[in-house]
Amino acid sequence: MVADYYEMLGIPQGADRAAVEEALARCQPKWSAGARNPKHRHTYHSYLDQIPAIRATLLGDPTARASYDAELAALRRAELDRKLDEIQRLVRLRASKGGLTVSDRDRLRREADRIGVPAEELDRLLEPIAPMPEAPAEADEPDEPTPDVIDSATRGQIRRTLEHLGRRDLYDALGLQRDAPQAEVVSRADDERRRWRQKSRVTAEMTAWLEAVSYAQSHLGTPGARARYDRTLEFEAEERFLGAVRFCLEGEARLASGAKAALVVEGESLGIGPDRADRLIRRACRGMGVASGEAPEARTEPAGPIRLLRCRSCRGVTQHRDAEKNGRACRHCGDSLRWECPICKRGRWVDEPRCACGFRLELREPMLRHFEAARRAHKARDYASALAHLHRIQEFAPDHAGTRKAVERVKQRLSEIERARSGFEQELSRRHLLKAQSALRAWASMVDPTDPEVRKAFDEVNRGLREARSLSARGSSLLGSDPAEARTLLRRALEWSADLDEARDALRRCPPDPPTDLRAEVERDAVVLRWTPPAPDGLGPVSIRVVRKARGVPASPADGTVIAETDATECRDPAASPGEVVGYAAFGRRDGVDSVAPAVVGPVLVLADVQDVRVDARSGEVGLSWRLPRGATGVRVARKQGSPPTGPDDGVRVDALPDGAGDRGLDDDRVYHYRIFACYRTPEGKERLSRGVSIAAMPHPPVSGLISLVPAPMPDGRVHFSWEEPERGQVKILRSDRPPALLEGQRIPAGQADALEGHWLATTATDHAVDARPPTSGLCYYTPFTFWAGTCAVGRPVASTRIPDPSELRAVRIGGSGRVHLRWRWSPATSQSLVLLKAGAPADGPDDPAADRLVVSELEYGRQGFAPLDLPPGEVAPYHITVLGLAEVDGRILHSPGVEPTARTVVPGPSPEVSVSYSIRRPRLPGRPWALAVQTDPPGSPVPPMVLVGHPRTVPLTADDGELIAAIPSGRGGDSFRIPPVHRISDFRLRLFVDPTLPIDQIPPIRLRHPEAERTRV
């Protein structure tokens, strides 16, 4: 419902802006004070809440005020129609007896003045009703007693709250029917109170709703209170009905039958049944002295009340029967006296204020006006206004399908506008002005073209595109003359518009910078060019194109021969002819575009040095050999002690042939420096020398290659190498997968030895070295080299293998003879094993002459399950047995290194073993130590350290199979040992074992005989 801002401010509708502001300043303090009065707090609080809307409507856009004035006029017209409907209802009641008396017309005029209906409008309503004479009154009778209802003060408070919210009663405020279950009423009241309590901002509407919910909880919360409120509603309905009856009977002497029928219909509209309405009519008649029976003489009265139809256009009145005869048109202006419900499309007479679907006639005109305003706003692309008008229509008719569809279409268009706007802002934030312009056009096509935000966006995009295109054009014009400035301008253009194709294409075609500091040096048989690459410009990698030109410097990439295009910082030109004068230019190149200016060097005279220089130092002489480059006419060699010669005349000149020279009469073990220069003849006949190649040599007696290299595997997996220290030189060892392609004793330059494939071991001393990380498997070769005076002598290679050792060797004596059965875990890389047997000490490798050797094949071992071994007779000392793995590699039989500790064991000699038996005795008194007695056979034999092991559930089988109870020191047969009662020994099963921490070579050959009784029984 639209509030009347002019009435609230007390100003006329045509008041100007200054009058509105003055009225606001005057009324705002009054409203603030009135909001503290409980009687009017909802009204004034709502006035305060509407101050922003008043300013936006009356002091904002003139079109908004005009729209409000039009809606207010429609509201006032609807209010006048409501008043006319009310006075027409009273006229129908007074005329139901067949006409109106003079007193009836006076009463109707007084009521019209009270309601606010103009006199001319009332005259139109009274015109078709016939006059009637006055009738005498009857005697008065007493009224019925007042029922138990809510007091009048509380009813007044509830009524004011409901009128502020526009609700009929507390049931309507909760959105329930009067016959709703009690539990649903209580639950709905609690939900409504909780919903309004969750709102953060306190408004007049929130206060009124909470007050209405509080009244509902008080008067509907219990069945008794609810029954009282229902009686109150019936009482108020009867009071309203009695008011209508009194108005109908005022000044009458007798109640006409037509009037009574009309009053019964009026009571039914208020929810009062015919019987109750008849009793109330009779009570009112008695109270007003009006006869309620029939008249004594018969009079002709209408069968029912007169039905009058008031035209909504001219306010004229037409009887219903006349309207049906005249095509349902007003007899005054000819307009239709029926209206069509916009919800259900059914026709109704104008005196029917509400359609059967619930739509009220007074809302039809505002609804049609808002719909037309929404249509015009949608056509003008003012979707916010269109949506506001449609929401107003939904307030009038929430179930109107056309409005719902229109709202969906407007929201869909608003979402499309928001997507277009979001796309524009996204592209603008990325500085893609072309895409932003396209998105902006799509956005502008859906909104008002005069929207200031759209115009501002167009100005921003167009200004940016103009600036970007201007910078792009200036940068494109400088591509061939000033690439650096062109790149700067094009980058600035792309900063304005990152998707400007002409700027991107021009930047892609921009020539790169050339390299700097181009240098040319002649090395051996080629010219080496070096340069500094250009600084990165952010446009991609730049390659360097090098161009050579004879007797000049290239001016362009096509002016000469392209010798290289590389990403490195140097290149070689092996095709330059020695003695030739050439010039070089280096161009930067990217995507097929060369730099405008190159880096140049030259002209350069190509003076190549001799190549493949070799030195052969012998006692008292040095031999030099080389390969003369093409174009050289000769060679000059200079010798000097202490430092290399700086030129051909710095030192002693040595006679030389084109491919070598010999320098004799030198002192041994002294270093001589040589510099070899290649000689060239220029076209003018002048001799030019190359830069020269320096080399040092030391005459010395010949050094022999190392022969005796002895490898020895170490327990931690490393390999130890030892040799006899040579008289002169340093020994280095090369580990490789295959022997070097060199002969034993061959002498080669030290540089050639360093270039051999393989790994040089770190030398820790002059007579030995260690390979810390040998290969884990396979065959490798270790070759010694003796370095001395820039040369080295090749020694004899030694093959080494990384075959894994066998493990878990066990030896079992068979009876009292010398037969032993050996068992072990085979290495996965071997098919044979080598058993070494030596008395008194372990064998010193597989080649130990004092050890007996036995080769066992895996096939034979697998067939028997063990390897038998007969000990030699006559030896008393224990025998040490070692097992090595054997494998054939490259036609050679190789053995494992023998560093696995479990691949060794010790067995006693042929003499009998010492048998050790023992017994464990309990103490006689609890808490005393247990006793362990040891006996040997032969008696008195030594016994090694032992351990007593216990297990709570089973008899231990090894020293690790349980808990250590006690450690028994070494002794002899017949000794007794005390076991401290640290553990509850009676809870354990016990056995005695040799101390497993003893070294294997310190354990004498003994045999333990465990007692088969009590705690040691299996």
For residue 21, which phi and psi values (nearest 5 degrees)?
Answer: -65, -40
pLDDT at 139: 43
Average of per-residue pLDDT across 746-758: 84
Looking at residue 617, its amino acid is A
Residue 875: pLDDT over 60: no
Which position has the token pair 């002497």?
253
pLDDT at 84: 82
Radius of gyration of the chain (CA): 62
User: pLDDT band at residue 835, thresholds of 50, 70 and 90?
Assistant: very high
pLDDT at 144: 61
Highest-confidence segment of 95-104, 231-240, 271-280: 231-240
For residue 526, which phi and psi values (nearest 5 degrees)?
Answer: -145, 160
Residue 143 near residue 246, CB atoms below 8 Å? no
pLDDT in tens, 202-247: 787 788 888 888 888 888 888 888 888 888 888 888 888 888 888 8
Q: Which of 67-81, 140-154, 329-343, 610-624 is least confident?
A: 140-154
Residues 84 and 118: their CA atoms lie apart, in Å, by: 9
Average of per-residue pLDDT across 818-825: 86
pLDDT at 322: 74
- Which helix (H) or strand (E) element contains residue 826? none
> What percent of the chain stands above pLDDT 90?
6
pLDDT at 545: 92
Residues 941 and 1008: their CA atoms lie apart, in Å, by: 13
User: In 865-989, where does DSSP find H-type helix?
Assistant: none
pLDDT in tens, 515-549: 999 988 877 667 888 999 998 888 889 999 999 98
Structure tokens at 489: 């301008």
Looking at residue 946, its amino acid is M
User: In 818-955, where does DSSP find H-type helix?
Assistant: 858-864
Q: End-to-end CA distance of the chain, in Å?
A: 105
- Mean pLDDT, the chain, whole residue set: 82
pLDDT in tens, 553-600: 898 888 888 989 998 889 988 887 776 788 999 999 988 888 888 999
* 511-606 and 611-697: identical CATH topology: yes
Residue 674: pLDDT over 90: yes
Residue 834 near residue 854, CB atoms below 8 Å? yes
Q: Is the pTM of this model over 0.85?
A: no
pLDDT at 140: 47
Residues 190 and 666: their CA atoms lie apart, in Å, by: 121
Q: Report the DSSP beta bridge partners of residue 83.
A: none
> What percent of the chain stands above pLDDT 70?
92
pLDDT at 1018: 40
Distances (CA, A) of 191 to 174, 432, 509, 619, 943: 10, 52, 72, 117, 96
Half-sphere exposure in the Cβ direction for 509 (13 Å, CA): 13
Domain ranges of the chain: 5-60, 77-132, 362-430, 450-506, 511-606, 611-697, 807-907, 914-1009
DSSP 95: G
pLDDT in tens, 764-784: 788 888 888 888 766 788 899
What lies within 8 Å, CB to CB, of 696 at 6+ separation is: 644, 671, 672, 673, 674, 790
Among the four given CATH numbers 1.10.760.10, 2.40.160.60, 3.10.180.10, 2.60.40.10, the one describing domain 611-697: 2.60.40.10
DSSP 849: T
- For residue 202, count other CB atoms closer than 10 A to its CB: 11
The CATH number of the structural domain formed by 807-907 is 2.60.40.10
CATH homologous superfamily of 511-606 equals: Immunoglobulins (2.60.40.10)
pLDDT in tens, 297-309: 444 444 455 677 7
pLDDT at 645: 92
pLDDT in tens, 592-639: 888 888 999 878 777 778 888 888 887 888 889 988 887 788 899 999
Q: Which of 502-506, 582-586, 716-720 is least confident?
A: 716-720
Highest-confidence segment of 98-112, 338-352, 376-390, 704-718: 376-390
User: pLDDT band at residue 136, thresholds of 50, 70 and 90?
Assistant: low
User: pLDDT band at residue 312, thresholds of 50, 70 and 90?
Assistant: low
pLDDT at 302: 44
Q: Report the DSSP beta bridge partners of residue 769.
A: 721, 763
User: pLDDT band at residue 914, thresholds of 50, 70 and 90?
Assistant: confident
Which position has the token pair 């220290």?
725
